[in-house]
Amino acid sequence: MTLPASAKTCPLLLGALLLSLVPARALLNVDGSRNQIFVFGNATFGYDSNIFSDASDRGDYTITGSVGAQMKRRAGIIAMDATATLGYLAFGQFTDQNAFNPNFHLELNKTTGRTTGAFNIRAFRESKADSSVNLRTSSWNFPAGLNLKYPVNDKYYFTSQTAYLRRRYVESASLANLTDYSQALDVFYVYTSKLDLVGGYRIRVSQTSIGNDAVDHWFNLGATGGLFAKLNGTVRLGYQLRRTSGGTGGSFAHLNAVASVGWPITRKINLTGTITRDFNTIATGVSVDSTTALLRGGYVVSRQIEFLGGVAYGRNSFLGTPPPSRRDTFSSFDLGARYKMNEHLQVEATYTYFRNWSTFEFSDFERNAVTIDVSSRF
């Protein structure tokens, strides 16, 4: 689809609006700090050597711009946080991939009383390069979630996580729309003042528009809080079973882990490690056994300057497909720097390298990306 000339100028208009925000100081306190309205915007300029994430290596320059507003209300027992963002992605050569991506988010929090929790709902359009299907996808996404916490006594408390996701792909009849429901229940034991032990169960039901459906059961044990002397985070180990129906019917199981641990080495240097293994349903309706390990670090030079970086390694096994089955192994790293000019204006530059090795020749590719992002918030 070719966009009209007026649509192609949208990034320039967004950039002009962003620059106009800098001296505006548009933070509005409606009622002290109880009711606040913020405005924000950003412009990102970049080059991506492989915008389709495939072996064809088609690169392009991109401009992304967005503006939005956020309202925070802190009156009464329910706190509200509502955000609306209008974004536009433009390509230099592949203009048929230009996309208008709005994002709306509402979160309600209850932090007082015996039962506490949060409800959130979103609606957003996403355009991205999907390496699992080796093409660019555009989709409308409608996630919602309800998280609750109920303390039994000083030693035990229960939590509940209810999640829903509806994903509908735009202008692509070959991709499978997804509806996903999950319900998790956990019981926590306060082991020490800094460490809680946890045991839980989650069921997840995934349905696609082409009939490739799945049901997951996950049983897990773990700990959260101060794990060791200077390590803080959450670690869970468990057993997961997925049963699928339709064209990829079958039963699959694995030992899995979900872990995120932070290590503040010094006041200026910090590291965060993350490991995840889970079943996913990709855009073609196929189930994937996905494992990812990520290590990120940051070095704070001053209040204004910070260096960031990370490395990742993972594997994706595509399940229930006719032989030869596809398996991808990937690695990536990124390096960046962030400069906070003042409390309202920030500039960040990032270089990212991604390499995917696949048993399918078309899915074997590498990707280099450079971005410069200017953002403002008032």
Average pLDDT, the chain: 91
Percent of the chain with pLDDT over 90: 81
In SS3 terms, 157-217 reads as: EEEEEEEEEEEEECCCCCCCCEEEEEEEEEEEEECCCCEEEEEEEEEEEEEECCCCEEEEE
User: What does the pLDDT average to over 50-63?
Assistant: 96
pLDDT of 168 over the 60 cut: yes
Q: What is the pLDDT of residue 174?
A: 86
User: What does the pLDDT average to over 135-140?
Assistant: 96
Residue 251: CB atoms within 10 A of its CB come to 10
pLDDT of 15 over the 90 cut: no
Taking the model in full, what pTM does it have? 0.89
User: What does the pLDDT average to over 52-66?
Assistant: 97
pLDDT of 32 over the 80 cut: no
71-97: b (≥16 Cβ within 10 Å) or e: bbbeeeeebebebebbbbbbbeebeeb
User: What does the pLDDT average to over 143-150?
Assistant: 98
Q: Which of 101, 131, 76, 129 is nearest to 316 (CA)?
A: 131
Q: Please report how many Cα atoms fall inside a 13 Å half-sphere around the Cα of residue 173, on the Cβ side.
A: 0
pLDDT in tens, 330-350: 999 999 999 999 878 999 999
How would you classify the pairing of strands 28-29 and 345-358?
unpaired
Q: Which of 19-28, 181-190, 259-268 has the lowest mean pLDDT?
A: 19-28
Q: Which of 198, 202, 118, 192 is nearest to 158 (CA)?
A: 198
Q: Please report how many Cα atoms fall inside a 13 Å half-sphere around the Cα of residue 139, on the Cβ side.
A: 23
Give CA–CA dist 86/102, Å, rounded.
Answer: 4
Percent of the chain with pLDDT over 70: 92
Q: In the chain, which ranges are continuous DSSP H helix? A: 5-8, 10-21
DSSP secondary structure string, 109-145? EE-SSSSEEEEEEEEEEEEEEETTTTEEEEEEEEEEE
pLDDT of 11 over the 70 cut: no
pLDDT in tens, 265-320: 999 999 999 999 999 999 999 999 999 999 999 999 999 999 999 999 999 999 98
For residue 155, what pLDDT band results from cuts at 50, 70 and 90?
Answer: very high
